[in-house]
Amino acid sequence: MSPCPGPWLTVVGIGDDGLEGLAPAVRALIATAELLVGGERHQAMVPDSAAVRLTWQEGVHRAAEAIAQWRGRRVVVLATGDPMWFGGGANLARHFGADEMTVIPHPGAYSLAAARMLWPLADVACVTVHGRPLEILNLSIQPGARLLVLSRDGQTPAQAAALLVARGFGPSAITVLEHLGGPRERRLDGIAESWVDPPVAGLNTLAIECRPGPQPRLLPPVPGLPDDVFESDGQLTKREVRAVTLSALAPLPGQTLWDVGAGSGSIAIEWLRSVPRLRLAGGAEATAVAVERDAGRCAAIARNAAALGVPQLRIVHGEAPDALAGLPGPPDVIFLGGGGARPGLLDRCWDLLAPGGRLVANVVTLDAAARLIEFRKRHGGELTRLAVARAEPVGRLSAFRALMEVTQYVAVKP
């Protein structure tokens, strides 16, 4: 068999209407494929042919390795809707180039749902919980926000309703759109606080219009969340200092943060919440690792991350510097919020930091501040003293009570 000239790998978006929704030329591509790749649902839409069939059962990376063995042959991959929206095309584009691969999109769930709801896509947050924790919705729930959510299964609508109620958004409108674009398309409408959990098809998309109740739990996207939204045993970077620290950390898309001595995880959590939600070329998302030696605090970090919409935060139980071995890196940014006074830790973090990376350290003791001053003499950087006072009751009156002063060090590695 002679190799195909030009692109040999075609990714075809297919809707719930199956082959009937595809152009004749696209159906011909599928009919003449030598290797047909796709999930069992999509494979069942295609009549028997001479093509070898491959499913995604062992994951995208394994499938990509198998597809590569057919390089130059006629290979067709079937994906849901628009393959470049959380789909097979986006995953395969990390393995194959534009000279090898062609993508033929089909109206995807987001486009179809926006059309059914008459919601401009530019004004909607498109989220997926398919293969991801449901708590990721917490990042997008805001008064007046409209969300289109790719569901995990038929239980997702009820779970999303319960999450909205827990956040104080019980009046939110929920629409379940089943089998979009197919002959079995169906719509169910309801309110989160009175959701009755009807039977829902596994293939569904949610349209959520967020409406706050009398006491909503509001989580603004800007740094400096209130201290009381974090579960903590007292090891918490206070709100005012946290906002300044996030400014110094300067979150950017695609970067990796190590939060060393994470305490309640507030810095790593707000880092992930602050990073613009876009990927760099190649699919790299911003990531964060929270390193904490206390097991109880590690558990609290996990609960905080889920409640605040960033359950993807990686938590490492261990004490630095030993716990830093084997972490994903080199990191673009390291924050030292605990253990800054430990001998050698600053130097170890500096060595592990990527060239051009940022090191930010907050300390409160004189001993730790002295180490920062000595470190600055060798590596440069900026030192800032942060002093915060809050008004508190003093008998029947009020007075400012000062928090512990924080010395902050910021440096960029050459």
Q: The domain spanning residue 95 has which CATH number?
A: 3.40.1010.10
Q: What is the pLDDT of residue 3?
A: 55
pLDDT in tens, 279-302: 444 456 789 999 999 999 999 999
Task: Band the pLDDT of 175: cuts 50, 70, 90.
Answer: very high
**Predicted pLDDT of residue 281:** 46
Q: Which of 6-10, 354-358, 383-387 has the least mean pLDDT?
A: 6-10
**Domain annotation covers residue 214:** no
Q: Which of 73, 91, 106 is the last residue of a domain?
A: 106
In the chain, % of residues over pLDDT 90: 79
Six-digit token pair at 54? 């491959």
What's 135's domain CATH number?
3.30.950.10
pLDDT band at 91 (very low <50, low <70, confident <90, very high): confident
pLDDT band at 276 (very low <50, low <70, confident <90, very high): low
Both 278 and 376 in a single domain? yes
Task: Determine the average pLDDT of the residues in 347-368.
Answer: 95
Asked if residue 36 and residue 182 are part of one domain, the reply reads no
**Residue 119 maps to a domain:** yes
Q: Which residues constitute the domain of residue 135?
A: 110-209
The whole-angstrom separation of Cα 262 and Cα 66 is 41
**Does the pLDDT at position 399 exceed 60?**
yes
In a shared domain, residues 66 and 194: no
Distance between alpha carbon 67 and the CA centroid of its chain, in Å? Answer: 28
What average pLDDT score do residues 158-177 get?
A: 98
Q: Which of 65-74, 78-87, 102-111, 285-294 has the lowest mean pLDDT?
A: 78-87
User: Given pLDDT bands bounded at 50, 70 and 90, which one contains residue 380?
Assistant: very high
- For residues 50 and 116, state if they share a domain: no
| Interval 59-67 mean pLDDT | 86
In total, how many domains does the chain have? 3
Cα angle, residue 379 at apex, residues 378 and 384 outer, rounded to 5°: 105
Strand-strand pairing, 101-104 and 125-128: unpaired
Query: Would you say residue 199 lies in a domain?
Result: yes
| Average pLDDT in the chain | 92
Which domain-ending residue is among 146, 176, 209?
209
| Domain co-membership, 243 together with 369 | yes
Q: Are residues 236 and 328 in the same domain?
A: yes
Kindly state whether residues 33 and 53 are assigned to the same domain.
yes
Angle at 173 between CA 220 and CA 198, to 5 degrees: 125
| pLDDT tens string 121-165 | 999 999 999 989 999 999 999 999 999 999 999 999 999 999 999
Q: Is residue 220 part of a domain?
A: no
Residues 308 and 283 in one domain: yes
Residue-level pLDDT at 339: 63
Of the candidates 144, 174, 209, which is a domain's last residue? 209
Q: How far is it, in rounded angstroms, from Cα 311 to Cα 288? A: 11
In this predicted structure, what is the pLDDT of residue 280? 47
